[in-house]
Amino acid sequence: MTKQFMLLTAVLILAACNNQNESDASSGATWVSEMYYQGEHYFKNIRQLTDGGDNAEAYFSFDGNSLTFQSNAEKWGNQCDQIYAFNWNTDTILEHEPQMISNGLGRTTCAYFLPGDTTILYASTFRGDTACPLVPERGEGGAYVWPIYEDFDIYVSDLSGNLIDTLISGPGYDAEATVSPNGKHIVFTSMRSGDLELYVCDIDGMNIKQVTSGLGYDGGAFFSPDSKKLVFRSSRPTTNEEINKYKKLLEDGLVEPTSMELYTCNIDGSELKQITSLGQANWAPFYHPSGNKIVFSSNHHSERGFPFNLFMINSDGSNLEQISFDKAFDSFPMFSPNGKKLIFASNRNNGGGRATNLFIVDWDEE
């Protein structure tokens, strides 16, 4: 689902210009090098890792040396998203296809290393249908909608792409899984209650417990560095009109993700707190290494749905700060385990096309 939202944005955005020190009249964004925008002072030594297709949701291994991500790159023979992994220090995947982790069947999403870095979990629809599922048409008034594929279950593969286990399954959607830094728990989004809620389980998929219960979509959750809290995006209807619309879409296996805010809670669901009230779409949150801040993607400054940029906010909802200044799309930020690197997906430096690629930077707060 997160990837599909990103793909919509990639279709809508204006082509990025790549000339050094050239300003964009519509956004005011200014290049200061081939891949930096003015004001991106936290970013140092930027490096582009992929080239072509839509590449996103890249997440570090526990040792920080490898990344797993999803891609629909046609040059690798993909018709829809598949899962890959590579060592970002040594593998040159700009020229060579990395190791595919998924089995090439169905649609996949949301891969994450398990403790030990020898296995990876991911969600896939392949058990329901080996073909790529249909992408739904837009909703009323041309609104973009996410499909909630009921065939999504969560699987485990080794680093050679061999399927090892079905980790989490059940009736309806199970996806968007991430792993706690202490290696003890998994959080994921599921429809098993009849609504899209967060659940936490043990690292082996056992002892599943519901975390959230409010009506609306709760998803894209990540653990805090101490593994005690969660941050996630949520689209919670409040008016009767919004509630009826949400329920009708959900009956059709759809969600409209144009309005989302960020929330935090303890891993048992207690101390639930809304930390943004910015309007539009605020999503892809990830905790800062300190545990006291959160980086995320937002279009709350945008008038036409784009651009999306990275922002940072204190975990109590104060001190909002813009981090990236792209005129198109930046999202899916994640810090390395040691806090020295940041990986994110962006439309920058794509030659005026629609490709979304992975970029890694040194995170510099000095």
pLDDT tens track for 297-312: 999 998 777 899 999 9
Contact (Cβ atoms closer than 8 angstroms) between residue 98 and residue 90 = no
Would you state the pLDDT for residue 81? 97
Where the chain has pLDDT below 50, the residues are 2-28
> In terms of C-beta density within 10 A (0-12 exposed, 13-18 middle, 19 or more buried), how is residue 303 classed?
exposed
Contact (Cβ atoms closer than 8 angstroms) between residue 169 and residue 124 = no
Q: What is the pTM of this model?
A: 0.91
How far apart are the C-alpha atoms of 46 and 198, rounded to whole Å? Answer: 34
Would you state the pLDDT for residue 32? 64
- Fold exhibited by the domain 2-363: Neuraminidase (2.120.10)
Contact (Cβ atoms closer than 8 angstroms) between residue 359 and residue 324 = no
Would you state the pLDDT for residue 280? 92
Would you state the pLDDT for residue 348? 94
Task: Show me where the domains of the chain are located.
Answer: 2-363
